[in-house]
Amino acid sequence: MINQLKSALQTKNPLYIKVKVIPKSPKNEIVDIMEDQSDSGLAGGTYKIRIKAPATNGKANIELIKFLKKSLGLSEAKIISGQRDRIKLIKLQTCTEKSGI
């Protein structure tokens, strides 16, 4: 599933994905892609992601962002909506070369 996201990032940057976070899990991992009922224009449904950190004081959110950045080699990963919910909208962006003016 990581490879699927990496491929999507090659064609669309930034990429917006919907995730469902399961905190207090044994390890950090993407476990499933759940089918959405409506086509929202996001990358292929909702990604179910297990995160080791508990959902207290934003710890799971911080670990989620670190996990996504490291796993996908991202320059930016940001929670757009769902800071306090299990379902979140995430913006993923890879490094892009900036041209000089």
- Do 17 and 41 contact (CB within 8 A), yes or no? no
pTM across the whole model: 0.85
- Do 14 and 91 contact (CB within 8 A), yes or no? yes
Q: What are the structural domains of the chain? A: 2-93 (3.30.1200.10)
Q: What are phi and psi of 63, to 5 degrees?
A: -70, -35
| Residue 92: count of CB within 10 angstroms of its CB | 23
- Side chain identity at 20, as an amino acid letter? K
Which pLDDT value is given to residue 92?
95
Series of mean pLDDT values for 10-residue runs along the chain (101 residues): 86 93 97 73 78 96 97 94 96 70 43
Which pLDDT value is given to residue 56?
94
Residues in the chain: 101
Which pLDDT value is given to residue 58?
94
Which pLDDT value is given to residue 100?
43
Looking at the DSSP bridge assignments, the partners of residue 22 are 50
